Amino acid sequence: MSGVINEALVLLRACLPARPLLRALLTALLTGLLTAGCVSPAWDQHDYDLKAGATAETVAANLEMARLVVAHPHTAAYDKTVLTDVVDTLSSVNAQFGGIQPPVEPAGDLTDMTRQAEDMVQDLLFDQRGPGIDDRAKAAAGLEDLAKRLRAYAEAHQ
C-alpha cells in the first residue's frame, strides 16, 4: 500500500505545482479515503492487525507530507495549510483507531507512535505559525525516522 500512497503523492505534486490550495484539498481527500479502512470494528486479532497496519501506513504517509513541507518550504500560507491538514488527519486517525476494541492484544506501540506523530506535527505547526521552524533538517529527519518505524510496523501487520 505504501507504493500506491507514494505514487499518489508524487502524481499530486507533479499535476498541481502552481495550485497549493487545490493540492492541499486533494491531499486531504486522499488521506481521508485511506483512513476509511480504520473505522470499522475488529472481529478477530487478524482483522485488528490489518487495521493497525493500515493505520500505521496512513500516519506514515501523512508524516511524509509534513516532512516534504518542512524540508522544502514553500510559502508560509501553503506550509501552514498542509501542516494543518496533516494535524487534522492524524487527530482523526488517532480517534478512529483508538475507538477500535482489540479482541486480544492492543497495539500499544502503534498508539504511542501515532500520538507522537500528531504531537510532532502539531509542534511544527505552532512553530510555523510563530517565529518559524528553527532546525528544518533536524525536524525533517525526526519525521522521516518515525515514518520509517510506522512503515515497518505496517509491513509486519499485513
Is residue 78 pLDDT above 80, yes or no?
A: yes
The per-residue pLDDT for range 83-114, each reduced to its tens digit, is 999 999 999 999 998 888 777 766 678 999 99
CA atoms of 130 and 100, how far apart (whole Å)? 36
Q: What's the sign of the alpha-carbon dihedral 28, 50, 111, 67?
A: negative
C-alpha triplet 18, 24, 50: angle, nearest 5°: 135
Rounded percentage of the chain residues whose pLDDT exceeds 70: 72
CA distances to 10, 62, 69, 74, 99 from 17, rounded to whole Å, are 11, 19, 13, 11, 37
CA atoms of 121 and 10, how far apart (whole Å)? 21
CA atoms of 60 and 114, how far apart (whole Å)? 9
Q: How large is the average pLDDT for residues 34-61?
A: 79
Domain that holds residue 98: 2-156
pTM of the model: 0.73
CA atoms of 108 and 50, how far apart (whole Å)? 15
Domain count, the chain: 1
80: confidence class by pLDDT, cuts 50, 70, 90: very high
Half-sphere exposure of 135 (CA within 13 A, CB side): 5
- Contacts (Cβ under 8 Å, ≥6 apart) of 102: 42, 45, 48
